[in-house]
């Protein structure tokens, strides 16, 4: 692991159930002062958020950062669209992929890497209902196998 510590702030568990994650991309996020303080306190949610590319820039919508208690007039709208920081070449590559049928960009997690706030987004393809059922079945079988193994080792 690198010398920069990673502190997880928010995780989108639902995204792994709803989508096949093809490619993970780490990007910076443009925030204002009190938003960073609120993030450091862990007051963030990315459950209902999504990512869009508009005019060559990437934005995350629906990422809720609760207002900082001591922020008074400096607090921003908690649901305002936030700009994600990526290189132009990465944005163009993602734009080409999104034009293909079935691909979208979804936020996976928000974390601090050193002192910088980062958002991990994924190039994802939606799962069908039968894919979701198969995943649940695999998870149940794994849990059963672990339970059997544990019981055998205790006897």
Of the two residues 131 and 97, the one the predictor is more confident about is 97
* Token output for 7: 């502190």
Closest CA to 25 of 114, 115, 107, 112: 107
Cα(73)–Cα(85) distance, rounded to whole angstroms? Answer: 26
Q: Listing from the earlier edge strand, what are the strands of the sheet with 57-61?
A: 6-11, 103-113, 116-126, 19-29, 82-85, 57-61, 50-54
| pLDDT, tens only, 46-90 | 888 889 998 989 999 988 888 877 767 767 777 888 899 999 999
pLDDT value at position 1? 45
pLDDT value, residue 147: 84
Threshold 0.95, pTM exceeds: no
The domain spans of the chain are 6-127
**Residue 27 confidence (pLDDT):** 93
The CATH architecture annotation of domain 6-127 reads: Beta Barrel (2.40)
Tell the burial category of 51 from Cβ atoms under 10 Å away from its Cβ (0-12, 13-18, 19+): buried
Going from the C-alpha of 53 to that of each of 5, 62, 77, 97, the distances in angstroms are: 29, 14, 21, 12
CA 126 – CA 105 distance, rounded (Å):
10
What tokens appear for 18 in the block? 């709803």
Predicted confidence (pLDDT) per residue in 12-54, tens digit: 888 888 888 888 999 999 888 888 888 888 888 888 888 999 8
Mean pLDDT for 93-104 is 86
**pLDDT at residue 46, as a whole number:** 87
User: For residue 155, what pLDDT is reported?
Assistant: 63
């Amino acid at each position: 692991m690198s010398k920069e510590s990673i502190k997880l702030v928010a995780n989108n568990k639902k995204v792994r159930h709803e989508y096949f994650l093809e490619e993970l991309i780490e990007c910076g996020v443009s925030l204002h002062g009190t938003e960073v303080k609120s993030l450091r306190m862990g007051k963030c949610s990315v459950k209902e958020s999504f990512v869009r590319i508009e005019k060559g820039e990437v934005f995350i919508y629906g990422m809720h950062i609760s207002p900082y208690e001591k922020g008074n007039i400096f607090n921003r709208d908690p649901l305002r669209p936030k700009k994600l920081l990526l290189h132009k070449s990465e944005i163009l590559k993602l734009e080409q992929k999104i034009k293909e049928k079935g691909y979208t960009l979804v936020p996976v997690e928000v974390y601090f890497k050193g002192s910088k706030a980062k958002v991990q987004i994924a190039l994802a393809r939606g799962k069908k209902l039968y894919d979701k059922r198969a995943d649940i079945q695999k998870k149940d079988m794994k849990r059963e196998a672990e339970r059997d193994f544990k019981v055998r080792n205790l006897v």
